[in-house]
Amino acid sequence: MREDLCCTVCRKPLAAARRLSAKYCGKKCKARALANRRRAENLRQKIDLDRIIRAHEHWFAIFRRELLLSAPPEAGGYQLGLWTGEKLHWFPSMRKNQKYRHTLYGQRSRYGFFTLSPFEPPSVPLEAEYQVRFVQKIPPHFELPAIVKTWRKRVPYAIPCGPLPFRLRSIARDLR
């Protein structure tokens, strides 16, 4: 029996009528194939994240020290702004009514900022330069004005950040 005449999940031969286009014997196997693909994709993303974390431990430590040195005493967190061509879009990016987000370490956070202590490394969707700003420790966590000058920091990695209100591809190369 030829390989392509079997269901790719359960290996049962496909009914003659299905053979030309079908890969699965039925809905059940199609759903299982989809679940398998999702699981593989999640695993791949987790491995990618682990790799990014391991590769940037040193960068995290340096950035953390820079943040702590320039943070005003009332700061509890920071945000990173990406210039979209029209305005700064601030990360972490939370949609309206979004209750929580995932940190780089896979923990849930309900904050619309990265915490200073414990230090949360940034999750951003593009390897690029970002404007850094601090937010107040106490709710509602207002942004704090820059004390000395605008600080821009290059983040050397990118991770998927979910749907965004602008197109990542439209961000000019020279702004990255």
Residues near Zn ion (CB under 5 A): 7, 9-10, 25, 29
Q: Which is nearer to Zn ion, 38 or 46 (CB)?
A: 38
What is the closest distance, in whole angstroms, from the C-beta atom of residue 44 to Zn ion in the complex? 24
Instruction: Retrieve residue 70's tokens.
Output: 């320039």
Tell the burial category of 54 from Cβ atoms under 10 Å away from its Cβ (0-12, 13-18, 19+). Answer: exposed
Closest contact distance (angstroms) between CB of 1 and Zn ion is 14
Minimum distance, C-beta of residue 21 to Zn ion, in the bound complex (Å): 15
User: By C-alpha distance, which of 74, 80, 90 is closest to 165?
Assistant: 90
The vertex-71 CA angle with 142 and 85, nearest 5°, equals 65
Q: In the beta sheet, which residues pair with residue 153?
A: 130
Q: Residue 5 or residue 10: which is nearer to Zn ion going by CB?
A: 10
Q: How far is the CB of 10 from Zn ion (least distance, A)?
A: 3
Question: Is the CB of 9 or the CB of 164 nearer to Zn ion?
Answer: 9
Give one word for 11, left, alpha or beta, with left for phi > 0 and alpha for psi -120 to 50.
Answer: left
Quick one: 32 or 102, whose CB is closer to Zn ion? 32
